[in-house]
Amino acid sequence: MPWQQCAALGQDATARLACFDALVAKHLGVASDMHQHAPSGVPALASALQGDTAGSKAAISANAPITEVQTTSTEGCRNKAYSDMSRFWELENGSDCGTFQFRGYRPITIAVAGSDSVNRQPSSDAPDHTASTATPYRRTENRLQLSVRTKIAQSLLTQGEPDKRDSLWFGYSQQSYWQLFSPEISRPFRTTDHEPELIYIYPTDVALPWGWRWRYAGAGLNHQSNGQSLPLSRSWNRTYLMAGFELDRRWSVQAKLWKRIPENADSDDNPGISDTIGRGELQTYWNMDADNTLGMTVRHSLTGTARGSVRLEWLQTLGKGWSKSLGSGQSDLRLHTQLFSGYGDSLVDYNRRRTVFSIGLSLVDF
């Protein structure tokens, strides 16, 4: 039941109260029924809201001293009464922000990156795909990432569902490595990857052991290429299935499996890419507290070769005072520290193993 989801927020009093607020506001027309069946605290909230339908302020009693709270209209995908995963994919009616609104996807990042090696002469097993000469790139460079998405359709299969909302998204991500610290070669962009994709998300709410919840299932179509001509051209297409899980507001997990769309040998820029970059990934994030998040992404080839990669991340909130002074709540700006080891940090490195440490600023979901 929805009120149980609110109660499950535990000791996060602010989020729990906001959840009950949104729940009662949604059901103002049946407040008398709530008085008979709702848990302690909710009947008083229903009465307060009935007496003040404008929603300016409500006095709420929940076996505790009277406290004033500010009730607001729904904020959709910014409404903290819903979980991070629900707001990110707009899984419920109350966490919906509508179609054709630009939102963040992967972090928008500017960072300084240092690596144990740099690919000065990229190669591939495909004919005519190996650089003829080496370029004196430096191992320290700038990493830039742009990533946005928009919902292009919703309620395709969930019409008539009171709380669930499926969705179809278009996303675009771009990652570049810029040789900012190489003036002797005119500071070129070493590589830039382009990644458009189409994503379908179907909401679920299945209770799992130990308090976990299965929150969505999804499918997608992905293209990735670096937009280069021979001998540096690299590209591939894949389809994927994924699922998302969460535990309270502390843990979130996304599992993804993909299959490459086959290409003719004449058009295959990167043979064996699935054996190096991988065929699936498991992404886990832990919200240590309100300001710090740790993440780990593991990719694996799912074969005996056991190739793939590991990415560790630490995101720390910045600009809290500035955002509060503007009345905008928590800042979306993060100090972003990453450690990557494995194959495929960029598409031109699909068959080259390297370790990269980066630190910079990221703008997360907005």
| Mean pLDDT to the nearest integer, 13-25 | 68
Backbone angles phi, psi at 15, to 5 degrees: -65, -40
Residues paired with 263 in a beta bridge: none
For residues 215 and 165, what is the distance between their CA atoms, to the nearest angstrom?
12
- pLDDT one-digit tens code per residue, 351-364: 999 999 999 999 99
186: Cβ–Cβ under 8 A, 6 or more apart, which residues? none
Give the range among 16-25, 32-41, 157-166 with minimum mean pLDDT: 32-41
Q: How confident is the model at residue 216 (pLDDT cuts 50, 70, 90)?
A: very high
Task: Kindly state the tokens that stand for 63.
Answer: 């076996």
Give the architecture (CATH level 2) of 94-363.
Beta Barrel (2.40)
Residue 16 pLDDT greater than 90, yes or no: no
Res 75: pLDDT:
83
For residues 265 and 267, what is the distance between their CA atoms, to the nearest angstrom?
6
With H, G, I as helix, E, B as strand and everything else as coil, classify residue 260: strand
190: Cβ–Cβ under 8 A, 6 or more apart, which residues? 118, 119, 137, 141, 177, 178, 179, 348
Q: Cis omega (within 30 of 0) on the bond before 231?
A: yes
| Mean pLDDT to the nearest integer, 225-243 | 97
Q: Between the CA of residue 124 and those of 118, 233, 266, what are the distances in Å?
A: 16, 10, 13
| Mean pLDDT to the nearest integer, 336-340 | 98
For residues 273 and 258, what is the distance between their CA atoms, to the nearest angstrom?
12
For residues 55 and 207, what is the distance between their CA atoms, to the nearest angstrom?
33
Q: How confident is the model at residue 243 (pLDDT cuts 50, 70, 90)?
A: very high
Contact 126, 268 (CB under 8 A): yes
**With the C-alpha atoms ordered 214, 9, 23, 63, is the resulting torsion angle positive or negative?**
positive
Res 351: pLDDT:
96
Task: Kindly state the tokens that stand for 163.
Answer: 């709380």
- What ranges do the domains of the chain cover? 2-73, 94-363
Longest dimension (CA), the chain: 79
CA angle 69, 72, 74 (to 5 degrees): 140
Q: Among candidates 104, 220, 196, 203, which has minimal Cα distance to 155?
A: 203
Core vs surface per residue 224-250: b (16+ CB within 10 A) or e: bbbebeebbbbbbebebebbbbbeebe
With H, G, I as helix, E, B as strand and everything else as coil, classify residue 85: helix
For residues 86 and 15, what is the distance between their CA atoms, to the nearest angstrom?
14
320: Cβ–Cβ under 8 A, 6 or more apart, which residues? 291, 330, 331
Contact 151, 101 (CB under 8 A): yes
Long-range contacts of 57-62 (CB under 8 A, 24+ apart): 60/17
Task: Kindly state the tokens that stand for 329.
Answer: 């709540």
- pLDDT one-digit tens code per residue, 94-136: 999 999 999 999 999 999 999 999 999 999 999 999 999 999 9
Residues paired with 193 in a beta bridge: 175
101: Cβ–Cβ under 8 A, 6 or more apart, which residues? 150, 151
Amino acid at 259: K
Place of tokens 């040998």: 265
85: Cβ–Cβ under 8 A, 6 or more apart, which residues? 91, 215, 216, 244, 246, 252
With H, G, I as helix, E, B as strand and everything else as coil, classify residue 247: strand
User: Above pLDDT 70, what percent of the chain?
Assistant: 78
Which of the pair, 236 or 5, is modelled with greater confidence?
236
Query: In terms of pTM, does the model score above 0.85?
Result: no
In this structure, the number of other CB atoms found within 10 A of the CB of residue 141 comes to 26
